[in-house]
Structure 1
């Protein structure tokens, strides 16, 4: 059975939820381990058959610790089977939900020293009641500007789980 490391750089938890879903999709053929890449001192990629990194976009940016992790592990990332996906609310819109059309994925690929060979972009979740006042206000403003949900009493999950399943299958074959 293959051993897979699932790493996350998550803010609100939707990236972790997606990785748990992928873990379930892979359970028959892979032993998966889920870790927070922000808290890992080091990773020995040779202990795994493949690695998947999921990262969330917050206020238009991926976490700086993701880029630090990539810099510290660039050689291992290049030598092993490692995939990457990002999660953002803009991906809820058609035409902004693929690696080729996502502004966040394009920014990542320009900024990152590592160029993953398998990529995906998933829509996240809007969890107004869970946000603090500042985040709720800012996210509502952004959603108003982009034609999204503005009712702060709502929680909306935009993740396309069929798309996640297809990516999990692609990752398994990669």
Structure 2
């Protein structure tokens, strides 16, 4: 059976939830999931595919993602590795914010990163207001007010388009 490694950088868990969904789609793969923040290097020779998923928080990907890329650049470029980004702006599908071309976060990623993955996905995340501390709750509410999103801090709202994730899963298999 083919093996896939899923590396994730997740704050609230939606990135990991998306990876679990992708794992369900990959019936011909044995999948291993690892927190990107806990592993400086990976032995890529053990895997047929590698998928890196990372979330945006306050407009930025975690700096550990960039450190991992720098430390593993040669392997990332030589192997079948894909990347996806999770953010709340991607909920605006009608504006193309859920595509690599329409995502400001992906444009920034590609400028900052020496690695340019062959396959990139952009998925809307989730709002988990009740789980946030007071500071995060108020900051995210402000951001959502400015961007026309949900501002009721008693709600949890999942924006992820699971059909889009399923299509990405197939492209990942076909890499």
TM-score range, shorter chain: over 0.9
Q: Deviations over 1:104-153 (max 9, x none)?
A: 01100110010100000000000000000000000000000000000000
Q: Do the aligned partners of 2:40 and 2:68 also contact (CA within 8 Å) in 1?
A: no
Q: Deviations over 1:42-98 (max 9, x none)?
A: 200011001000000000000000000000000000000000000000000022110
Equivalent position of 1:112 in the other structure: 113
* Aligned counterparts of 1:20 and 1:111: Cα–Cα separation in 2: 28
SS of match in other structure, 2:41: coil
- Mapped pair 1:97 → 2:119: no
SS of match in other structure, 1:58: coil
* Aligned counterparts of 1:45 and 1:171: Cα–Cα separation in 2: 16
* Aligned counterparts of 1:100 and 1:55: Cα–Cα separation in 2: 17
Equivalent position of 1:46 in the other structure: 45
* Aligned counterparts of 1:78 and 1:22: Cα–Cα separation in 2: 22
* Aligned counterparts of 1:115 and 1:42: Cα–Cα separation in 2: 18
The Cα RMSD (Å) is: 0.5
SS of match in other structure, 2:154: coil
**Within 5 Å, which residues of 2 pair with 1:160-171?**
160-171=161-172
Q: Do the aligned partners of 2:2 and 2:28 also contact (CA within 8 Å) in 1?
A: yes
**Within 5 Å, which residues of 2 pair with 1:8-157?**
8-26=8-26, 28-94=27-93, 95-157=96-158
SS of match in other structure, 1:33: strand
SS of match in other structure, 1:106: helix
SS of match in other structure, 2:31: strand
Runs of 4+ in 1 over 4 A off after TM superposition: none
- Structure 2 residue runs of 5 or longer lacking an equivalent are none
- Structure 1 residue runs of 5 or longer lacking an equivalent are none
TM (norm. structure 2) is 0.98
How far the C-alpha of 1:41 sits from its partner, in A, is 3.4
* Aligned counterparts of 1:41 and 1:15: Cα–Cα separation in 2: 19
